[in-house]
Amino acid sequence: MKKIIIAVILICSVIAFSGFAFATEHATKEECVAMCKKAAKMVEEKGLDATLKAINDKNGPFVWKDTYVFALSTKTGSVLAHPLKSKLIGKNLMGLKDVDGVLMFVEFLKAGNSKAGEGWVDYKWPKPGEKKPSKKETFVYKVKGQDVSMCAGVYE
């Protein structure tokens, strides 16, 4: 009986620490760029609806390490897809400010609607599970021929 209890404790410990290791993996800026471009390519190949469905899947291809891709309307600033907060879909967040008064979604729109059609936006936002804001950078990439930008961010 002791051996079984020790084995169970050992297995539970391994699983717990494995999950912790995955949770502490951080996405890179390069990955954010690549994933936003991957989502844009999917729009071209499979259409916007299929891509938004894939982005909304919290277990899908656009959620990795400690970040994800979300889609934003370049006309209205409304969230079109979000894998972790479905209640944001359809919401216009143009008035949302960080602690320094940065209107993040206004800046996202500016980046996506710029001549380059892409760019980085710097602001402060709390990491998941934290209250204190941290520096965050979000890459914004406008899908050619569409009124949508793909966005993904990393904490510094």
Whether the per-residue pLDDT at 11 is higher than 50: the answer is no
| d(C-alpha 139, C-alpha 149), whole Å | 10
Whether the per-residue pLDDT at 149 is higher than 90: the answer is yes
Q: What is the mean pLDDT of residues 58-74?
A: 97
Copy the structure tokens of residue 31. Answer: 């990955």
Packing angle of the helix pair 48-56, 29-46 (nearest 10 deg): 140
Nearest one of 137, 141, 106 to 121, comparing CA atoms:
137
Q: What local confidence, expressed as pLDDT, does residue 103 receive?
A: 97
Specify whether the CB–CB gap between 105 and 77 falls below 8 A. yes
Choose between 23 and 24: higher pLDDT. Answer: 24
Residue ranges covered by each domain of the chain: 27-155
Kindly report the pTM of this predicted structure. Answer: 0.84
Q: Just give the CATH number of 27-155.
A: 3.30.450.20
Residues in Cβ contact with 67 at an 8 Å cutoff, skipping those fewer than 6 apart? 27, 31, 32, 152, 153, 154
The residue assigned the tokens 């996506």 is 112
Q: What local confidence, expressed as pLDDT, does residue 24 receive?
A: 72
Q: What local confidence, expressed as pLDDT, does residue 54 receive?
A: 98
How many of the other CB atoms lie within 10 Å of CB of 65? Answer: 14
Specify whether the CB–CB gap between 127 and 134 falls below 8 A. yes
